[in-house]
Chains A and B, each alone.
Chain A
Amino acid sequence: MTLDDLTRTSGEWLRGTGPESDIVMCSRIRLARNLADFPFTNRASRNEKAGIESQVRSAVDAAGVEAAYFDVNAMSDLDRQFLVERQIISRELAAGEGPRGVAVTPKENISIMVNEEDHLRIQYMLSGFRLPEVWDEINALDDQLEDDIAFAYSSSLGYLTACPTNVGTGIRVGVMLHLPGLVANKQIDKVFRALQKINLAVRGLYGEGSQAFGDFYQISNQQTLGKSEEEIIKILTDVVPQVLQYERSARQELVTGRRQHLHDQVSRAYGVLKTAQTISSEETMLLLSSVRMGVNLGLIDDLSIATVNELFIQTQPAFLQKLRGSELDSDQRNVARASLLRSRLANGRAVEDE
């Protein structure tokens, strides 16, 4: 598998299947792990980073994970950005220095970042709301990697991480939610404040400090010490359904109270995406979000959620440039984006209101 192969496929987590997938784009768990016999990445020499990288790579091979390894240190900035857009690597890994990389499986469920803030950042993603399943998978993978790696661990503090905010379980349990209803009725801040009170973090699609885009938000735990992995997962599996319920009633309110207005908004969004000759990334996200809600509410019936989900990623700057095989400036990207949208949405039409 090469980077170019990735432009022809899309991650399983975009498929729009699994429980609650009208709102829950994907469930994701990541584990922070470090090798016990090396300094943390920020303190490791080039040689040590290379040593860490080769140990992790051989552990991944030995675990029988069918994964391609991408050398992030050697790749172009465009390729790095491409992997960030696909949620395969973090912006921090992209911007890092020295030997570092990522192992990715063909369906992009698993990504193992090497020499990010911690030596290993193991990530597992599945579409829909299925955290217990994701935990079973990543727990087994973690065990397999441990066959070949001595993890930094203390019996009192658990897995030792470069930042004390991750120490203990080293786990971040998150769900990515599409919340256009709560954005429309302006209740979203209220929901977030409530989540923050119980120590859950809310972030945009691209993690820490990134702005919410396309009305996508990630909710995840912050505390990693003093609670077991299962307890942390249970907090999320208890709380997220309440958020889903708020979102559903917000959508219902829009449908019953302002159906014509909503239908108009969705149809216009769809129309613009299908016909525009040049379109910015921001406008695309905004309109795709409307269309995604429209599909889920039955206002558009000839478009799959998977296609809409994919378009959120495929209309990003680096993807467009990879697809064209050349660097494009902002104006050229807007033209390429519009052309991609027209061809992907060519046969769609909005539902006639009875």
Chain B
Amino acid sequence: MICQKCQNEAVVHLTELVDGRRRERHLCVDCAREAGLTLPDAPPDLGLDAVLQGLIQKNVGELVGELAESRCPDCRLRYMDFRTGGRLGCPHDYRVFREGLLPMLQRFHGATRHVGKQARLRPGASLRLRLRSQLRQAVAREDYEEAARLRDQLRLKDQHA
């Protein structure tokens, strides 16, 4: 289809209701911009995540609003990501998002304290998780000197584990 204003290919097809009457417009990109229509640069994102997060925020209230943007320093997961995806990112999340998780645990399990088998104490493990996340972040920002240092440190800790 050809643009109604010039001879270019029309890519914007608009149906409007003006005073109860249908009006169709077919425009090319330039003429559409000239007519004051905003066009998406990229293919439109349906924004489902945002919609979901909005819904959850609305229904779970203020507490989540405050918590929502908080982020685990190690795995970088935001509390909101957990609420939409349903999965936590690392063992430290249970501490970081404690405030949001406890009511959820109470609702699902009817309890918030573990009873039963106990794991052996491994004090070094949590530190290794921290080192590993620092390593990942160092690699991501291409700081290879720091990455090498962290890798050596991890190797040393792994031997002692």
On chain A, the number of residues with a Cβ less than 8 Å from chain B's Cβ atoms is 45
Q: Tell me the count of chain B residues lying within 8 A, CB to CB, of chain A.
A: 38
Q: Mark B89-118, 1 if CB is under 8 A from A, else 0.
A: 111001100000100110011111111111
Q: Which residues of chain A (220-246) have a CB below 8 Å from chain B?
A: 222-231
Spot the interface stretch: B46-54, B61-69, B128-136.
B128-136
Given A162-B87, A164-B108, A167-B105, decide whether A38 and B114 contact each other with a Cβ distance below 8 A.
no
B27 within 8 Å of A (CB atoms): no
Q: A64-72, A150-158, A251-259, A280-288: which one contacts chain B?
A: A150-158
List, in ascending order, chain B residues with CB within 8 A of A36's CB.
Answer: 91, 122, 125-126, 128-129
Q: How far is B115's CA from A137's CA once the two chains are assembled, in angstroms?
A: 20
> Is the C-beta of A168 less than 8 angstroms from some C-beta in chain B?
yes
Which of B95, B115, B116 has the most A CB atoms < 10 Å from its CB?
Answer: B116
Point out the residue from A43, A158, A159, A165 that lies within 8 Å of B89, measured CB to CB: A43
Give the shortest distance, in Å, between A283 (CB) and chain B (any CB): 37
The answer to whether A225 touches B132 (Cβ under 8 A) is no
Does A7 make an interface contact (CB < 8 A)?
no
- CB-nearest residue of chain B relative to A222? B108
Would you call B36 an interface residue if the criterion is a C-beta within 8 Å of the partner chain's C-beta atoms?
Answer: no
- Answer whether residue A48 sits at the interface, using C-beta atoms and an 8 A cutoff: yes
Report the Cα distance A209→B118, complex, angstroms: 31
* Bound CA–CA A142/B119 (angstroms): 10
Partner of B112, one of A171, A225, A231: A225
CA distance A201 to B117 in the complex (A): 23
Q: At the interface, is chain A mostly helix, strand, loop or mixed? A: loop
Q: List A contacts of B95 (CB < 8 A).
A: 154
Report B54 CB to chain A, min CB distance, Å. 22
Determine whether B77 belongs to the interface, using a CB cutoff of 8 Å to chain A.
yes
- Tell me the bound Cα distance from A45 to B76 in angstroms: 13
Report if B75 contacts A (CB, 8 A): yes
Chain A, Cβ-Cβ closest to B157: A37
Residue in A closest to B126 when the chains form the complex, CB atoms = A36
Q: Which B residues are within 8 Å of any A CB, using their own CB?
A: 74-75, 77, 85-91, 94-95, 101, 104-105, 108-120, 122, 124-126, 128-129, 132-133, 136, 161
